[in-house]
Amino acid sequence: MTKLAFMFPGQGSQTVGMGKEIFEQHDEVKSLFRRADELLGKSLTNIMFEGPKELLTETENTQPALLLHSVAVHEILKKHNIQASMTVGHSLGEYSALVAAGVMSVEEALPLVATRGKLMEAALPSGKGTMAAVLGLDEEKIQSVIDEFSNEEIVDIANLNCPGQIVISGSRIGIENITDKLTKAGAKRVIPLNVSGPFHSRFMKEANDEFATHLDEVNFHDGEVPTYANVSAKPVQNKDEVKKLLLQQLYSPVRFEQSIRQMIDDGADAFVEVGVGKVLSGLVRKIDRKVKTFSVQDDASLQKFLQWYKEVN
Could you give the percent of the chain with pLDDT greater than 90?
A: 91
Confidence band (pLDDT; 50, 70, 90) for 149?
A: confident
**For residue 212, what pLDDT is reported?**
94
Question: Which domains does the chain carry?
Answer: 4-123+203-312 (3.40.366.10), 129-196 (3.30.70.250)
User: d(Cα 298, Cα 134) in Å, to the nearest integer?
Assistant: 32
Inform me whether the pLDDT recorded for 4 exceeds 80.
yes
Confidence band (pLDDT; 50, 70, 90) for 127?
A: confident
CA 72 to chain centre: 16
What would the mean pLDDT of 90-105 be, rounded to a whole number?
Answer: 98
Inform me whether the pLDDT recorded for 151 exceeds 90.
no
User: d(Cα 211, Cα 172) in Å, to the nearest integer?
Assistant: 24
**For residue 126, what pLDDT is reported?**
81
User: d(Cα 124, Cα 196) in Å, to the nearest integer?
Assistant: 10
pTM of the model: 0.96
- Taking only the tens place, the pLDDT of each residue in 23-58 is 999 999 999 999 999 999 999 999 999 999 999 998
**For residue 286, what pLDDT is reported?**
97
- Residue 191's beta-bridge partner residues? 133
- Taking only the tens place, the pLDDT of each residue in 233-286 is 999 999 999 999 999 999 999 999 999 999 999 999 999 999 999 999 999 999
**For residue 12, what pLDDT is reported?**
86
Q: pLDDT averaged over the chain?
A: 95
Inform me whether the pLDDT recorded for 171 exceeds 80.
yes
Confidence band (pLDDT; 50, 70, 90) for 206?
A: confident
Could you give the percent of the chain with pLDDT greater than 70?
A: 100
**For residue 152, what pLDDT is reported?**
76
User: Would you please indicate which residues are annotated as catalytic (active-site) residues?
Assistant: 91, 200
What would the mean pLDDT of 192-213 be, rounded to a whole number?
Answer: 90
